[in-house]
Amino acid sequence: MKKKITATVLSQKEIAPRIFDMWIATDLAACAKAGQFIGVYPKDRSTLLPRPISICQVSDKKDALRIVYRIAGQGTAEFSSYQEGDSVEILGTLGNGFPTEAAEGKKVFLMGGGIGIPPMLELARELPASTEKQIIVGYRDDQLFLKEDLEKNGTVYIATEDGSVGTKGNVLDAIREQNLTADVIYACGPTPMLRAIKEYAAEKGIKCYISLEEKMACGIGACLACVCQSKDVDHHSNVHNKRICKDGPVFLAEEVEL
């Protein structure tokens, strides 16, 4: 189900420099799942396109969505000024989401880097009880947003670029340092991180799902900024392009070129 609605802001706070945590009351939550996103429309109509923002959490009653986003431009700067009771126009739910059934009875890595961390929270909440959840998150520094929420849903390992907390380096450095292993990987973060994880998964023969949400712009199939090459062979051209916002944002790592 996808629809455009006016929702109400329940709360908003800054949880790290320029990173905001907003809860929105909306019945779109009833059908939302981890790895999906919503389009949020700025009130400033200099652009008609929404900003795609991933779903960080669905409330237990399935009547509210939590989004955690970084200020990246005018639109997100405007969202950061919203307060309890403000209305916000949103479109959702968008995208395919993570396939959680692949984790049944398995040992998994949930790997999030930077603003790719938020979708890992809802994913950790949705994975089956039989899944062993190892959540590996990479931050720039000691601003460990969402750490406590993640710890309630799995075992958390931290990497920081500046070495201030956990392993110095990235999420792959953390799993090597801790000698961690997994049967399935779910990952979201900057493209260089996903490229490295894709290589790691191929080398170890691990099934790996990556969310390419970082490459999206409008999120609704209108701008074509998100096209990526896929391995699917098209009968006519031998290549096939996918729109990340429509066909993804989650793909099997081996299906897409990064």
Is 94 a binding residue for ligand FES by CB under 6 A? The answer is no
Binding mask 195-224 for ligand FES (x = CB under 6 A): ---------------------xxxx-xxxx
Shortest approach of ligand FES to residue 79 CB, angstroms? 18
Q: Cα(77)–Cα(43) distance, rounded to whole angstroms?
A: 11
Binding mask 58-87 for ligand FES (x = CB under 6 A): ------------------------------
Cα–Cα distances (Å) from 105 to 94, 102, 121, 124, 197, in that order, read 28, 9, 19, 14, 22
* Residue 28 near residue 92 (C-beta atoms within 8 A): yes
Amino acid at residue number 198: K
Shortest approach of ligand FES to residue 180 CB, angstroms? 33
Residue whose CB is less far from ligand FES, 53 or 156? 53
Burial of 179 (0-12, 13-18, 19+ CB in 10 A): exposed
- Give the single-character DSSP code of 182: -
Residue whose CB is less far from ligand FES, 72 or 224? 224
Residue whose CB is less far from ligand FES, 144 or 194? 194
Look up residue 166 and give its two tokens. 């956990």
Shortest approach of ligand FES to residue 52 CB, angstroms? 7
The angle formed by the CA atoms of residues 78, 83 and 86, to the nearest 5 degrees, is 85
Shortest approach of ligand FES to residue 32 CB, angstroms? 19
Distance of CA 131 to the CA centre of its chain: 19
Shortest approach of ligand FES to residue 121 CB, angstroms? 23
Site for ligand FES in 231-250 (CB under 6 A): 243-245
Binding mask 159-198 for ligand FES (x = CB under 6 A): ----------------------------------------
Residue 136, strand partner residues: 111, 157
Residue 107, strand partner residues: 132
Q: What is the dihedral of CA 223, 226, 231, 232, to 10 degrees?
A: -40
Q: Cα(23)–Cα(12) distance, rounded to whole angstroms?
A: 7
Is 51 a binding residue for ligand FES by CB under 6 A? The answer is no
Shortest approach of ligand FES to residue 221 CB, angstroms? 5
Number of residues in contact with ligand FES under rule CB under 6 A: 13
* Residue 225 near residue 217 (C-beta atoms within 8 A): yes
Shortest approach of ligand FES to residue 102 CB, angstroms? 25
Is 119 a binding residue for ligand FES by CB under 6 A? The answer is no
Residues at the interface with ligand FES (CB under 6 A): 216-219, 221-226, 243-245
